[in-house]
Structure 1
Amino acid sequence: MKTNNIPVLLKVKFKLLIKNFSAMVGSILAIFFSILFRTTLPNISFDGQKAPFILMMVVMFNSVMASIMMISIPMAEEKEKKSLKLLISSSISQTDYVIATITPPFVVIMITNFILPFLSGVKLQIMSYLIYIVISMVMTLMSMIVGLLIGILCRKVSDTSYVVLPVILPLILIPQFATFNQSMAKVSNYLYTGILLKMLRAVSLNQSIQLSLQSLGIILLEFILLLGFFFYLYNSRGIRLEK
């Protein structure tokens, strides 16, 4: 791998990502709703837990929705415009491309996650803030792998519209409704987003995290399965334009 290709490609990818509103919508919504809900929602409706509620919601937008869309949509656009074929046929390797594809979204999403507690009005202790960063990072990385899978499988931007929403909505909505619905709660306990959202709620309240071996095992298993599926597709199909 020619590492001198990566800085140039990263620069191009950053510029394209910032200009791509469709891909950036998750992070934009996270910032927008943090400010909007903090200033408009009445405190009395949340028993003093308005800020944690806002934080949990916007982190899901940023770490799940944005992670998947920032990866899958640009990959599909590059396939559709034939620019991916040009990149892969040049001196840029598939590994270079994957690194340059995941790095800009990760940086943008994590910078957004850094400021979301302040925008949401959550006052975290130093240790709680560090744990929050780790939780949001794990959620982001796992969601980015989902985005890579969709990006590899989809040939056009229109294809992603049929796949992205059916994937994103359960990952976001099931954990959100788990508080109100017992069936949703049972399903949420087997989703990485549901487990991590529970942890995030405890952290946002500056409480200790109650993480069972089962929950930890589920997160590790889902991470291994996602990563294994990605490497399978990467080795069998590659990052290329389908014929």
Structure 2
Amino acid sequence: MKTIHINKIAAIIEMKTRAFFRKNCIIMPIFAIGFTIMLRFLYQYIANDGAYNAVLNGEALAMGLVTNIGGNGIYCCSLLLAEEKEKKTLRVLMTSSVNALEFFIGSILPVFFFTAVINFILVPISGMTLTLTQWIWFTVMTILGTLTSCILGMLLGIFAKDQVSTSTITTPFILTLMLVPMFSTIIESFKTVSHFIFTGAIMEMISNIASHQTPYVELSGMIVMVIEIILAILLFIFFYKKNGYEKD
């Protein structure tokens, strides 16, 4: 078991945080906020004549969350890892005193933190009000979804040769995670697939909360998210070592 040094993780977090704000990453949470505001306006003032409707506001929140978690977590983690590879600093870190686990934790935490914060900000922006129990389920599910997204982003970042290729690699995954749950109420085949992806489980939770259907989260949804987290971690470890980033 490798020793984890907090000071080294903190240094990586500081480096990644600076990169997060100077890269295109900051555009993703801003887009998620703007998208949620736009949907709330469309649903409340155009579709419902300005009256409050929990179901419509929940729809705005669900789509905002899927956009934020599916886009921000995957794209930003991939982009920041690709930057390390492009600048040849990843190899330097891996052959220095920083081990793979320290790099992994330090790289994920900044994106995870900012994505999670935006998730909570989207609730009042969407116009939704949650009870204590609903807040607990919201917190658990969005944290699990954000973690999965970030790990998947790190995994895809391994295959990105440079920052330019990041968009090419991540776009199909981001679109799938966003569009399948969004159109699952219209297309029957999408509804089936949506049950097996973490963004679909989050959208279903928000829909149940908005319509006061219990349980808010199906056991199958929780199992799917946990399995996807474990699978993403295992795949990351495998391809990380296969590509020679892990030092002996």
The question of a shared fold, defined as TM-score above 0.5 by the shorter chain, is answered with yes
1:130 to 128, 136, 142: 136
- Mapped to 2, the partners of 1:37 and 1:124 lie a distance apart of 19
Counterpart mapping for 1:31-70 below 5 A: 31-43=33-45, 45=47, 48=53, 49-70=55-76
Secondary structure at the residue paired with 2:47? helix
1:201 maps onto 2:204 in alignment: no
1:146 to 149, 152, 167: 152
The code of the aligned residue for 2:201 comes to I
Change (3 A) 1:214 1:100: closer
Q: CA RMSD, aligned part only?
A: 2.2
Q: Return 5+ residue gaps in structure 1 as ranges.
A: none
The TM-score, its normalising length taken from structure 2, stands at 0.87
The code of the aligned residue for 1:3 comes to I
1:19 maps onto 2:22 in alignment: yes
Change (3 A) 1:10 1:151: same
> Per-residue deviation at 1:105?
0.6
Contact 1:43 1:50 in 2 (8 A): no
1:101 to 101, 107, 121: 107
- Mapped to 1, the partners of 2:62 and 2:245 lie a distance apart of 34
> Per-residue deviation at 1:94?
2.1
- Mapped to 2, the partners of 1:213 and 1:42 lie a distance apart of 32
1:30 maps onto 2:36 in alignment: no
Contact 2:44 2:57 in 1 (8 A): no
> Per-residue deviation at 1:34?
2.4
Give CA-to-partner distance per residue, 1:69-109, whole Å, 9 cap, x none.
11000110121122223333333222221111001011111
Counterpart mapping for 1:226-237 below 5 A: 226-237=232-243
Could you tell me the percent identity over the aligned residues? 29
Change (3 A) 1:37 1:221: closer
The code of the aligned residue for 1:12 comes to M
Q: Return 5+ residue gaps in structure 2 as ranges.
A: none
Secondary structure at the residue paired with 2:6? coil
- Mapped to 2, the partners of 1:187 and 1:104 lie a distance apart of 30
Change (3 A) 1:218 1:40: closer
- Mapped to 2, the partners of 1:225 and 1:34 lie a distance apart of 30
1:8 maps onto 2:11 in alignment: yes
Change (3 A) 1:210 1:11: closer
Which residue is 2:176 aligned to? Answer: 170
Change (3 A) 1:98 1:129: same
Give CA-to-partner distance per residue, 1:116-139, whole Å, 9 cap, x none.
101111011121112111111111
- Mapped to 1, the partners of 2:221 and 2:35 lie a distance apart of 29
- Mapped to 2, the partners of 1:104 and 1:94 lie a distance apart of 17
Aligned length in residues: 239
- Mapped to 2, the partners of 1:212 and 1:121 lie a distance apart of 24
Q: Which moved more, 1:62-71 or 1:231-240?
A: 231-240
Contact 2:9 2:106 in 1 (8 A): yes
2:196 to 166, 174, 190: 190
Secondary structure at the residue paired with 1:229? helix
- Mapped to 2, the partners of 1:133 and 1:58 lie a distance apart of 15
- Mapped to 2, the partners of 1:39 and 1:200 lie a distance apart of 18
> Per-residue deviation at 1:199?
1.4
